[in-house]
Structure 1
Amino acid sequence: MDKIIISQYKKVKILQRSLKWFASATTLVMLFVLIGGALVTKTGSGMGCGRSWPLCNGQWVPDNITPELVIELSHRLVSGLAGIMVLILSIWAWRAVGHMRETKCLAVVSFVFLVLQALIGAAAVVWGQSDFVLALHFGISLISFAAVLLLTLLIFEIDKKFSAASLNLGRPMRFHIYGIIIYSYIVVYTGALVRHTNASLACPSWPLCAKSRPLPMQFHEWVQMGHRLAAAVIIVWIAVAAVHAIRHYREQPVIYCGWIIALLLALAQMATGALVVFTGLNLYIALAHAFFISCLFGVLSYLLLLALRTRRKPEKAAGHPVRETAPATLK
């Protein structure tokens, strides 16, 4: 009997380890989808396969191979692989950790939003879309990526080495988390709009639009400066939240470190945004810009998940969390 129990325990551990590896791989592939989408936009490869989807120029194996075709086709293949992996992960996680209340919701969101972004991309190829609609594409992909990331983090909680229920978040911290995650999506949209309207270099100077005239004068300059202003606001807001975490949440490392990482990513995002202008839209820096915002949104999404999972507890008048005392031992 003991051998049977030990054998079953080993099988469970192997399945858990396999699920963790697969979830990590799926998260990495979803990150490639985001970076690949940014690469397609920044290199103008959206029409690399012509007005044909899912085929490329109406062919399974294209005759005329161009760099734009390779980039667009590669992005489609990676997106297709991601769709299969996300579907498998969603079903697997649903069965393995479905007892966690967030699992089913994240599984559905990750797959549905990935399909939605694929449909928007296909519609843009076949029928064309306005820049304002295309700007939604990256944001929808970002939601799918964040859902897969959170699902992966939930899977890593199988061992119960960390419990969000042990956290104690005050009202100011909850306000920062809820407000910044919502506002960050607006920043993401404005950044995507900059790319899709080809306004990345509309303002030749930084942080002002031009040395001779600080205010924008035409549409593309307004799009560029609107994004810079939105990005500046979120950096200041994240800095305020990070200072609040440093002052009041040192005993809760996941919150404390989460905001420190978020601030570093926001600063890296700002630095790469400035370098995009100074280097004349260097491709690698532009892709790094997309990478940092993806990671930042992932961190903010995890903080949101923690805020939604923690218990609401009494707070001091100043809004700071109250330290809990250990429960009395039953005798």
Structure 2
Amino acid sequence: MKQQTWLKWIAVASSVGMLCILLGGALVTKTDSGLGCGRNWPDCNGSLIPKEITAEVLIEFSHRAVTAFVSIFIVLLAVACWRKLGHIREVKFLSAVSVIFLFTQALIGAAQVKWGQGDFILALHFGISLISFASVLLLTLIVFEVDRKFDADHVKVTKKLRRQTIAVTLYSYIAIYTGALVRHTESSLACLDWPVCHFERGWNLLPANQYEWIQMGHRFAVLILIIWIFSIAIHVIRHERQQKALLYTWVGAACLVGAQMITGMLVVLTRLQLFVALGHSLFISMLFGLLCYSVMLVSRSTEVTKPETVASLEKNVYLEESEASSFNK
């Protein structure tokens, strides 16, 4: 049954809004505006509405306002999905996660303003927001019945592909954390060249200090992620292309991780150009959301022994449908 229009609007507003929260948080970090409202929270410099507006105050206060506004939509979405779509296996879990992690990231942000936090704790802030975004995105896809449109309930995968999907999604979170750590430790320009840290060092590729280790560690983590996602995407294109849900998901993941790599390179070469840096955050957020959708796909799937078996099963379904169509005629 098609979902009510109002629920779809709330779902879209929540997903777009959560993405704005992610990018707003990245903007706060990249412009060093975290203390734009001083050590005050939830007020800003001692008043509910800031009296003196600077660039830092505007960025920090806008981020807080957007978070508060979007939180209303996310809570409404979670409650509505729980009540109307609670019979779907993932809905109650995703509804709870979206709200819990939304408020958790808000509390971490508040704690940073009030008392300050270590770089390694702050790096988790983006990751926690990312989990909330992924949960909201999956709820939105369920509301729009995307799984039915691509026949996602009948996906058939091998045990290896299922394990690879879950593993690469978990690993992507680690790679994202290293990227957040780069930002919060101010290691973004510790290496001024790409792909090596400094060309003038020749074959001496070892990092020289803590900041270079963090920067190059992130690049190495992303390199592994790129190779891993591309290898899965090639496998799906070769053996699972009859299953459109899998095909579109992994081709999309390969495109997003490629875009993430390119923008990461440009962040260094353009010396932290703001829109390039925000694009980098956007692509990695979308990639993680898509990988979480792939986990939902394989969790619903039927397990088969070999990729060829999947192809043959799809062929049998096609033949059965053709025979039924001919019989009806």
Tell me the TM-score normalised to structure 2 length: 0.92
Report the equivalent of 2:167.
Answer: 179
- 1:160 deviation in Å? 4.3
What are the Cα deviations for residues 67-95 of structure 1, in whole angstroms up to 9, with x where unaligned?
A: 00000000001111121111000011111
Within the candidate set 125, 129, 135, 2:117 is matched to 129
Query: Which aligned pairs between 1:31-110 and structure 2 lie closer than 5 A?
Result: 31-110=19-98
Distance 1:20 1:93, change over 3 A: same
Within 2, Cα distance between the matches of 1:57 and 1:129? 20
Within 1, Cα distance between the matches of 2:62 and 2:255? 31
Report the equivalent of 1:5.
Answer: none
Q: Between Structure 1 and Structure 2, which shows a larger proportion of helix residues?
A: 2
Give the secondary-structure state (helix, strand or coil) at the position aligned to 2:16. helix
Within 2, Cα distance between the matches of 1:84 and 1:241? 38
Report the equivalent of 1:323.
Answer: 312
Amino acid aligned to 1:228: R
Within the candidate set 164, 178, 181, 1:190 is matched to 178
Report the equivalent of 1:296.
Answer: 287
Matched, 1:119 2:107: yes
Within 2, Cα distance between the matches of 1:252 and 1:226? 36
Give the secondary-structure state (helix, strand or coil) at the position aligned to 1:203. coil
Within 2, Cα distance between the matches of 1:39 and 1:259? 29
What are the Cα deviations for residues 25-53 of structure 1, in whole angstroms up to 9, with x where unaligned?
A: 11000000000000000000000000000
Within 2, Cα distance between the matches of 1:258 and 1:165? 14
Asked whether the equivalents of residues 53 and 122 of structure 1 are also in contact (C-alpha less than 8 Å), the reply is: yes
Within 2, Cα distance between the matches of 1:299 and 1:131? 27
Report the equivalent of 2:13.
Answer: 25
Identity %: 51
- 1:278 deviation in Å? 0.6
Report the equivalent of 2:327.
Answer: none
Give the secondary-structure state (helix, strand or coil) at the position aligned to 1:206. coil
Give the secondary-structure state (helix, strand or coil) at the position aligned to 1:101. coil
Distance 1:158 1:249, change over 3 A: closer
Amino acid aligned to 2:291: L
Within 1, Cα distance between the matches of 2:240 and 2:23? 33
Within 2, Cα distance between the matches of 1:123 and 1:248? 49
Give the secondary-structure state (helix, strand or coil) at the position aligned to 1:321. helix
Within 2, Cα distance between the matches of 1:210 and 1:281? 17
- 1:162 deviation in Å? 4.2
Within the candidate set 286, 294, 297, 1:306 is matched to 297
When the two chains are superposed, the root-mean-square deviation of aligned CA atoms in Å is 1.8
Asked whether the equivalents of residues 83 and 114 of structure 1 are also in contact (C-alpha less than 8 Å), the reply is: yes
Report the equivalent of 2:262.
Answer: 271
Distance 1:51 1:237, change over 3 A: same
Could you tell me which runs of 5 or more consecutive residues in structure 1 were left unpaired when the two chains were aligned. Answer: 1-11
Within the candidate set 231, 235, 239, 1:244 is matched to 235
Aligned residues: 315
Report the equivalent of 1:4.
Answer: none
- 1:63 deviation in Å? 2.0
Within the candidate set 209, 218, 223, 1:232 is matched to 223
Within 2, Cα distance between the matches of 1:236 and 1:163? 28
Tell me the TM-score normalised to structure 1 length: 0.91
Give the secondary-structure state (helix, strand or coil) at the position aligned to 1:200. coil
Within 1, Cα distance between the matches of 2:148 and 2:311? 24
Amino acid aligned to 2:82: W
Distance 1:207 1:242, change over 3 A: same
Report the equivalent of 1:168.
Answer: 156
- 1:158 deviation in Å? 8.4
Asked whether the equivalents of residues 29 and 184 of structure 2 are also in contact (C-alpha less than 8 Å), the reply is: yes
Distance 1:162 1:250, change over 3 A: closer
